[in-house]
């Protein structure tokens, strides 16, 4: 509605004169009178002048229009006029039917020189108005055959249009009701079209209808905002918000129009380059909203005006292009858009004074948007029909293609049947060969898995033999000195027995000398040390046997509650011969519950992962003593997490991708079969577990095992 208003800024001075102001004579009461040509207008560019200074000013210029258009500016506008009342009606109403003015103050100077002031505008709450109407209505009192002088002070961040009417209260109120009636009809059309197309959207599920409903909604509420109805009925106590909606709603209407146009006209298909240009207009609308919220009212209003004008011209261009490409529904679109623009042009010409200020010109935009709403609804229907015809044509072409394919298929079936029989016989022979090969592979797989287990068993056997050998050797080497020391003790005991039979002083001296000779005090300490060593060796042997017993459940298939820490410790104990003092084992065990699983398979997983970690650490650090393996456990998201992290050789991404492949190994030919991690993967699948690997070449690897608590 506000498109093209920007040009008003340049027209104001051209439409004014310096001739003497005429007094408006109110001489009949049957209709309201426009007094635009009896106005004198003064622009206060300093925004500082008061009424006294303005009265003394000689810079007032006579308006030549019935409804002066002051354009968009940040100045105070002063309007002076004189009214002589020749009727018997003393109480009249001055009406300014332009609801979006921010501030409009009326100063009345009566015949006695008294000044009466009334302040209105949409920056005040609606309840402050004398009359609860969207138009600005002022009570004025002029005795019969007397003349009063009036000054209006006006300031607004939007377009300023001044249609000023004088009439009796009855006529002015009737005019307001007439406007409300016309707008009610318009609103009924908008709501009807919105509900109708919303119903079609739910029925057809075509998003064009939904975009159109959104567009209708914002067009309707934009027109309602320009007439002041949302401020009156929806947010009468929020003048600041109402002032922002003057920009926000037109911007949203423009954005929804862009989206509807793109989807309805298929601009992305027909005019892809021009389609991208629409985003510039959308960006301009968003910029206008941001500027309005930031306080740049005039600039945001100008951007809205200019953007709307350019968008209309842009839509004309690509709509004509799309029509030329054969898209018939675009004709309805350009008809609707043409009528809408024509109504805008009529509205603008009225504001410029070229067309008269009457009902036809006042409500031209409402008529234009109503026509556009109905026509675009018809365009949607035409679009659906066009799509339906295209679908029918496509189906017909598809049917012909299917018939042709059916003929070709029938001709080929005879040849294919012969080829199929031949091929079926060949496949049957191949299938028998594959079954034999499959049986062979399964047998080989079983043998390989057993081979891997035997390799693990061999590794365990060597480690256990080495671990048991140490405490056994210590016990064996302690037997001879222990036997000797016990013989000395027995000799002392026998001498004491002789002393009991016949006590002689020389016998007692002989016993004491014997104790000195055999170093009796040291002998007792030595026996105690030997016994402690034997006890430690026995305990060490028992610990190894206990760890072997825990780990020896490799072939247990049943489920049972298992302490994972015990399994890890048993595995480390059996691998101790490989670890020794060259690798530092760090245990960071968390507080985790026992888990129901197949203990033997889980221990086999620990064995393979720890063996690989030990090999990687030894390969990198060799004879150094700075190798490290860190074992951590914790509970997370109903899972038990076991992390085995080493500072060994690490792996490349290529190696990481292959480690679960059977027979793939990075060890030497005599060090592994390449089935260890393949067996680990099989065990994880059995327990619905998963394994995550974090590795970096020359920095080490971390294998993170996730075992679900509610596995079974």
Summarize pLDDT for 602-619 with one digit per residue, the tens. Answer: 887 888 888 888 888 888
The whole-number pLDDT of residue 98 equals 87
Q: Which residues contact 667 (CB under 8 A, 6 or more apart)?
A: 615
The reported pLDDT for the residue numbered 223 is 87
Average pLDDT of 650-662?
78
Distance from C-alpha of 286 to C-alpha of 250, rounded to nearest angstrom: 11
Return the HEC string of 71-88.
ECCCCEEEEEEEEEECCC
Band (8; pLDDT cuts 50, 70, 90)? very low
CA atoms within 13 A on the CB side of 354: 8
Contacts of 543 (CB under 8 A, 6+ apart): 573
Cα distance between residue 175 and residue 182, in whole Å: 11
pLDDT for res 105: 92
Tens digits of residue pLDDT in 328-343: 778 877 887 778 778 7
The CB density around residue 44, as the number of other CB atoms within 10 Å, is: 18
- Containing 488, the helix (H) or strand (E) segment is helix 364-501
In angstroms, rounded to a whole number, what is the distance separating the alpha carbons of residues 167 and 32?
5
Average pLDDT for residues 79-105, to the nearest whole number? 90
More confident residue, 268 or 580: 268
Phi/psi at 591 (nearest 5 deg)? -90, 95
List CB contacts of 363: < 8 A, sequence separation 6 or more: 182
Do 5-167 and 559-708 share a fold?
A: no
319, 336 Cβ separation under 8 angstroms: no
User: Does CATH place domain 5-167 in 3.40.50.2300?
Assistant: no
Q: Which of 646, 642, 641, 534 is nearest to 586 (CA)?
A: 646
Q: Quick one: tokens of 612?
A: 């690989």
Residue 465 has pLDDT above 90, yes or no: no
Q: Where are the domains of the chain?
A: 5-167, 178-390, 391-551, 559-708
Q: At a CB cut-off of 8 Å and minimum separation 6, what does 579 contact?
A: 572, 585, 614
**Segment 565-583, tens digit of pLDDT:** 888 887 777 777 677 677 8
pLDDT greater at residue 252 or residue 544:
252
Q: Where are the beta strands (DSSP E) in 489-598?
A: 560-562, 583-588, 595-597
Task: Choose the weakest-confidence range: 265-269, 438-442, 554-558.
Answer: 554-558
Cα–Cα dist 142/23, whole Å: 14
Distance CA 559, CA 654 (A): 36
DSSP 8-state symbol, 12: T
CA–CA separation, 206 vs 115, rounded Å? Answer: 63
pLDDT bin (cut points 50, 70, 90) of residue 36 is: confident
Residue 700: Cβ within 10 Å count: 23
Residue 314 and residue 8 in contact, taking contact as beta carbons nearer than 8 Å: no
Angle at 557 between CA 551 and CA 559, to 5 degrees: 90
| pLDDT range class, residue 4, cuts 50, 70, 90 | very low
Token pair of 514 as six digits: 């014997």
Buried b (16+ CB within 10 A) or exposed e, 505-534: eeeeeebeeeeeebeeeebeeebeebeebb
Q: Which whole-number Å values give the CA distances from 688 to 127, 597, 634, in the listed order? A: 72, 10, 18
Lowest-confidence region among 303-307, 379-383, 501-505: 501-505
* 213, 194 Cβ separation under 8 angstroms: yes
pLDDT tens column, 102-120: 899 999 987 677 788 888 9
Higher pLDDT, 241 or 560: 241
User: Is it the case that residue 11 has pLDDT exceeding 60?
Assistant: no
- Rounded Cα distance between 321 and 5, Å, is 28
**Residue 442 pLDDT exceeds 70:** no
Cα–Cα distance, 543 to 412 (Å, whole number): 78
Residue with tokens 């393996």: 629
pLDDT at 555: 45
* pLDDT at position 606: 84
Answer whether 428's CB lies under 8 Å from 658's CB.
no
Question: What pLDDT digit, counting tens, does each position of 474-525 carry?
Answer: 566 666 676 776 777 777 777 777 666 666 677 677 777 777 777 777 677 7
Instruction: State pLDDT tens for residues 345-367.
Output: 777 666 556 777 777 777 787 88
| Phi (first) and psi of residue 45, to 5 degrees | -75, -20
Under a CB-based contact definition with an 8 Å cutoff, are residues 699 and 647 in contact? yes
* Least confident stretch, 23-27, 226-230, 527-531: 527-531
Write the class of the CATH domain 559-708.
alpha beta
Most confident range (mean pLDDT) of 104-118, 248-262, 350-364, 395-409 is 248-262
- Rounded to an integer, the average pLDDT of 129-137 is 89
Read off the DSSP letter of residue 137: E
* Separation of alpha carbons 375 and 214, rounded Å: 16
Which parts of 121-214 are beta strand (E)?
136-141, 146-155, 160-161, 165-167
User: Which pair of structure tokens corresponds to residue 634?
Assistant: 């914790």
Which of 20-34, 215-229, 310-324, 395-409 bottoms out in mean pLDDT, i.e. has the lowest?
A: 395-409
Q: Which of 109-123, 421-435, 589-603 has the lowest mean pLDDT?
A: 421-435
């Amino acid at each position: 509605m506000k498109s093209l208003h920007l040009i008003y800024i340049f027209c104001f001075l051209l439409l004014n004169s310096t001739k003497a102001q005429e007094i408006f004579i109110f001489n009949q009461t049957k209709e309201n009178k426009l007094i635009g040509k009896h106005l004198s207008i003064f622009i206060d560019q300093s925004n500082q002048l008061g009424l006294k200074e303005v009265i003394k000013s000689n810079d007032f210029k006579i308006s030549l229009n019935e409804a002066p258009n002051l354009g968009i500016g940040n100045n105070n506008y002063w309007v002076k006029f004189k009214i002589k009342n020749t009727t018997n009606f003393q109480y009249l109403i001055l009406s300014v039917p332009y609801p979006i003015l921010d501030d409009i103050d009326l100063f009345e100077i009566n015949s006695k020189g008294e000044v009466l002031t009334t302040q209105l505008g949409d920056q005040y709450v609606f309840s402050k108005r004398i009359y609860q109407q969207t138009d600005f209505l002022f009570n004025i009192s002029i005795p019969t055959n007397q003349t009063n002088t009036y000054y209006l002070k006006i300031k607004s961040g939007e377009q300023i249009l001044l249609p000023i009417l004088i009439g009796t209260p009855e006529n002015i109120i009737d005019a307001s009701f007439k406007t409300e009636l016309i707008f009610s009809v318009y609103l009924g059309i908008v709501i009807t079209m919105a509900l109708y197309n919303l119903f079609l959207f739910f029925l057809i599920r075509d998003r064009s209808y939904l975009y159109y409903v959104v567009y209708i909604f914002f067009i309707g509420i934009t027109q309602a905002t320009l007439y002041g109805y949302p401020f009156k009925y929806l947010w009468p106590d929020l003048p600041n918000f109402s002032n922002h909606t003057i920009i926000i709603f037109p911007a949203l209407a423009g954005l929804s129009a862009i989206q509807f146009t793109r989807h309805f006209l298929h601009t992305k298909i027909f005019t892809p380059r021009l389609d991208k240009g629409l985003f510039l207009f959308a960006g301009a609308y968003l910029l206008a909203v941001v500027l309005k919220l930031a306080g740049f009212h005039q600039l945001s209003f100008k951007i809205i005006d200019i953007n709307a004008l350019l968008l209309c011209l842009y839509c004309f261009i690509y709509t004509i292009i799309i029509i030329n490409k054969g898209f018939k529904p675009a004709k309805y679109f350009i008809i609707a858009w043409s009528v809408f623009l024509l109504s805008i042009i009529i509205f603008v010409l009225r504001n410029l004074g070229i067309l008269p200020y009457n009902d036809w010109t006042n409500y031209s935009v409402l008529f234009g948007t109503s026509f556009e709403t109905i026509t675009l609804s018809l365009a949607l229907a035409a679009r659906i029909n066009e799509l339906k015809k295209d679908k029918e044509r496509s189906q017909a072409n598809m049917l012909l293609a299917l018939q042709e394919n059916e003929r070709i298929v029938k001709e080929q079936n005879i040849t294919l049947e012969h080829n199929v029989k031949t091929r079926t016989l060949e496949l049957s022979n191949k299938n028998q060969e594959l079954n034999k090969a499959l049986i062979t592979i399964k047998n080989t797989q079983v043998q390989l898995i057993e081979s891997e287990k035997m390799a693990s068993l061999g590794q365990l056997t060597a480690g256990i033999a080495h671990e048991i050998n140490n405490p056994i050797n210590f016990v064996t080497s302690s037997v001879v000195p222990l036997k000797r020391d016990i013989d000395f003790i027995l000799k002392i005991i026998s001498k004491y027995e002789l002393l009991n039979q016949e006590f002689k002083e020389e016998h007692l001296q002989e016993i004491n000398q014997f104790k000195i000779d055999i170093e009796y005090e040291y002998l007792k300490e030595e026996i105690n040390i030997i016994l402690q060593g034997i006890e430690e060796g026995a305990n060490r042997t028992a610990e190894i046997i206990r760890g072997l017993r825990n780990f020896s459940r490799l072939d247990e298939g049943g489920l049972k509650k298992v302490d994972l820490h015990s399994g890890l410790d048993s595995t480390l104990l059996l691998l101790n011969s490989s670890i020794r003092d060259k690798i530092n084992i760090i245990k960071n065990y968390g507080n985790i519950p026992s888990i129901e699983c197949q203990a033997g398979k889980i221990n086999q997983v620990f064995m393979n992962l720890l063996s690989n970690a030990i090999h990687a650490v030894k390969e990198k650090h060799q004879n150094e003593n700075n190798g490290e393996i860190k074992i951590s456990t914790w509970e997370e998201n109903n899972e038990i997490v076991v992390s085995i992290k080493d500072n060994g050789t690490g792996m490349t991404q290529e190696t990481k991708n292959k480690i679960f492949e059977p027979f793939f190994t990075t060890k030497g030919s005599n060090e592994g079969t390449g089935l260890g991690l393949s067996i680990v993967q099989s065990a994880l699948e059995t327990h619905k577990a998963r394994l995550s690997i974090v590795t970096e070449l020359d920095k080490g690897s971390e294998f993170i095992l996730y075992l679900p608590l509610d596995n079974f």
